[in-house]
Amino acid sequence: ALQRHMHAPRAIDLRRLNRVILWTQRNPHGLEYHQLPEPRVLLAIGDSAFQAPTDAEMAEGRDPLVMRGYVWALASHDGSKYNLQVLEYVSSRQHHVCRGVWSAELHNQCDMIEMASIISGFTLETIHGPQSGESLKNALATGNLPMKIEALTDSYSIFSYLAAAHLKLPAERSTYYHLAYLREQLVSRHI
C-alpha cells in the first residue's frame, strides 16, 4: 500500500512507513533452514507474462510488456508434497524479443534452466573440489551432476511439444532451437 505513494509521498505516508518499521523492530522474525531429507533436488519454477500493446501504444512505438520470473529452491519430496528452501528468485523484464505468450514462456524456461545448471554445478565442486571448465561442461552434457534439476512450468503447450516423439516447427519458427535445447536437456537427464 505504501508503494502506491512513492512518486508523490506525503507526511502521512512517512508516518505510516515509520509505524511499519517500528512494528518490525519490536516483533523480529527470521527464516529457519532445516536439513532436508534425501533425495534432494534443485527445483526450478518459472512463469512469464506477456501483454501485447494496445493500438494506441503501438502507434507510439511501444513494445509488448514481457515479464519473467523464476524461483530456485532445494527440495525434497515424498511423491505428493514438496519441502523446499528458496535459494534465489528473479522477477524482471524479459531480455529476449517475444512476439507472444509461447516465446515468452519458452525463453523464460531456457533462462531458468541455464541458471539452474550453474547452481547444480556448484554442488559438483562442493562434493569433489574445484573442477575444470571442461569437466563441468561434460558433467552438464551427460547429466552427471550430483544434484538433479526438476523444472516446473504452467505452460502445457511447451510440455506437449517436448513430450511429442518428433519436434515440429512451431508457429514462431525462431523458437525451434530453444525447444531443441530443452529437449536435449531432457534426453541427457539433466532436467
Residue carrying the nine cell digits 544434484: 147
Q: What pLDDT score does 107 carry?
A: 83
Alpha carbons 114 and 190: distance in angstroms, whole number? 11
Does residue 70 contact residue 47 with C-beta atoms inside 8 Å?
yes
pLDDT digits (tens, 9 = 90+) for 124-172: 888 889 888 898 888 887 878 888 899 888 888 888 888 887 777 777 7
Lookup: cell for 74 = 532445494
Rg (CA), the chain: 21
Does residue 26 carry a pLDDT above 90? yes
Q: What pLDDT score does 2 carry?
A: 67
At 19, the pLDDT band (50, 70, 90 cuts) reads very high
Question: What is the mean predicted confidence (pLDDT) over 160-187?
Answer: 81
pLDDT digits (tens, 9 = 90+) for 44-93: 998 887 666 677 776 777 666 667 788 899 999 877 788 888 888 888 76
Does residue 42 contact residue 34 with C-beta atoms inside 8 Å?
no
Ramachandran angles phi, psi of 36, nearest 5°: -90, 140
Q: What pLDDT score does 44 carry?
A: 92
Lookup: cell for 23 = 512494528
Number of CB atoms found within 10 A of residue 32's CB: 5
Residue carrying the nine cell digits 502507434: 59
Most confident of the following: 20-24, 97-101, 176-180, 183-187: 20-24
In what order do the strands lie in the sheet containing 65-77?
82-93, 65-77, 40-51, 149-152
Does residue 66 contact residue 101 with C-beta atoms inside 8 Å?
no
Lookup: cell for 99 = 512476439
Q: Cα–Cα distances in Å, from 140 out to 21, 120, 136, 168?
A: 45, 9, 6, 26
**Residue 51: DSSP 8-state:** E
Q: What pLDDT score does 98 carry?
A: 66
Q: What pLDDT score does 97 carry?
A: 66
Q: Cα–Cα distances in Å, from 189 out to 142, 143, 150?
A: 8, 5, 10
Bigger pLDDT: 99 vs 116: 116
At 122, the pLDDT band (50, 70, 90 cuts) reads confident
Alpha carbon dihedral 11, 17, 19, 22, in 10-degree steps, equals -130
Q: What pLDDT score does 73 carry?
A: 92
